[in-house]
Amino acid sequence: HSPTRIYFASHRVWRSDNRGDSWAAISGDLTRNQERVTLPIMDQTWSWDSPWDVGAMSTYNTITSLAESPLQEGLIYAGNDDGLIHVTEDGGQKWRKIEVGDLPGVPATAFVNDIKADLYDANTVYVALDNHKFGDLKPYLLKSADKGKKWRSIRGNIPNRTLVWRIVQDHVNSNLLFAATEFGIYFTIDGGKKWIKLAGGVPTISFRDLAIQRREDDLIGASFGRGFYIFDDYSVLRHVSENQLKQEATLFPVRKTWWYIQRE
């Protein structure tokens, strides 16, 4: 909305209107504000100077995902590692709390991996969660069409144990979504009813981030320990049909390209 505005999250949400030269908090503490060392690990409460805690544990009670609607300025979603999501519709003046345990089928301890505001509808938002730190390896992927008041699962046929880390939406076809998971990258052409795993040299490893380069229609996936992978010009997926997906192979038309000739 403003090219000079950026956001940052810790236990609260911060905003800069001058590209990061100065910052102002636009929320209070949006976490549960728990004392980490009071929480049991392996059925034991550890001391402040325990090597287990000091050397191995990540910071808890932290905002782990932040998204502003590209359609409605000031509509911001913040998701935590402690089972909370907050929504503001006025740029941070008032925040509405959502317990992830109130989402259908989601445990109260689930970690918010990703929140994405819809590119086409200001009321729609997506969230990816996981609960693997509590021994639960189910994928949790949900959609809300009313700014987080009601939710429904769009996990579809994503297999068990396939944690979802990121979700991105195509900027031309609203029903074309991509999910970065623990075991590769999936896409759907129907908004999440059915997911298809990408092949073509993509290894079955954990992909922790996804991004779309809009000018070239490239999908970029960042893996855990195996570098980056790029799907060059995925635009054919915008028009692929169910019948084509059932075929052993399908030929798609290629787009026009520029031929650069050196001038004398």
pTM: 0.93
Q: Does residue 230 carry a pLDDT above 60?
A: yes
Secondary structure tally for the chain: helices H, strands E: 2, 18
Confidence at residue 53, expressed as pLDDT on a 0 to 100 scale = 58
Gap between the Cα atoms of 62 and 133, Å rounded: 15
Q: How many Cα atoms are found within 13 Å in the side-chain-facing hemisphere of 115?
A: 27
Cα angle for residues 184, 215, 192 (degrees, 5° grid): 40
Mean pLDDT of 234-238: 95
Mean pLDDT of 44-57: 69
Which of 56, 93, 60, 96 lies closest to 78 in space, CA to CA? 96
Residue with structure tokens 């092949």?
199
Scored b (16 or more CB within 10 A) or e, 116-140 reads bbbbeebbbbbbbbbbeeeeeebbb
146, two tokens = 């009313």
Gap between the Cα atoms of 63 and 112, Å rounded: 9
Q: Does residue 55 carry a pLDDT above 80?
A: no
Contact between 139 and 162 (Cβ < 8 Å): yes
Residue with structure tokens 């325990």?
50
Q: Which of 142-146, 153-157, 211-215, 248-252 has the lowest mean pLDDT?
A: 248-252
Q: Which of 83-87, 116-120, 210-214, 245-249 has the lowest mean pLDDT?
A: 245-249
Q: Does residue 41 carry a pLDDT above 90?
A: no
Cross-strand bridge partners of residue 228 = 222
Burial of 31 (0-12, 13-18, 19+ CB in 10 A): buried
**252 pLDDT tier (thresholds 50, 70, 90):** confident
> 127 in helix, strand or coil?
strand
Gap between the Cα atoms of 126 and 224, Å rounded: 23
Q: Does residue 54 carry a pLDDT above 60?
A: no
Residue 227 DSSP label = -
Share of the chain above pLDDT 70, in %: 97
Mean pLDDT, all residues of the chain: 94
Cross-strand bridge partners of residue 142 = 127, 153
Catalogue all structural domains in the chain, each as residue range(s) with its CATH number.
1-30+62-153 (2.120.10.30), 163-258 (no CATH)
The DSSP element (H or E) to which 142 belongs, if any, is strand 136-144
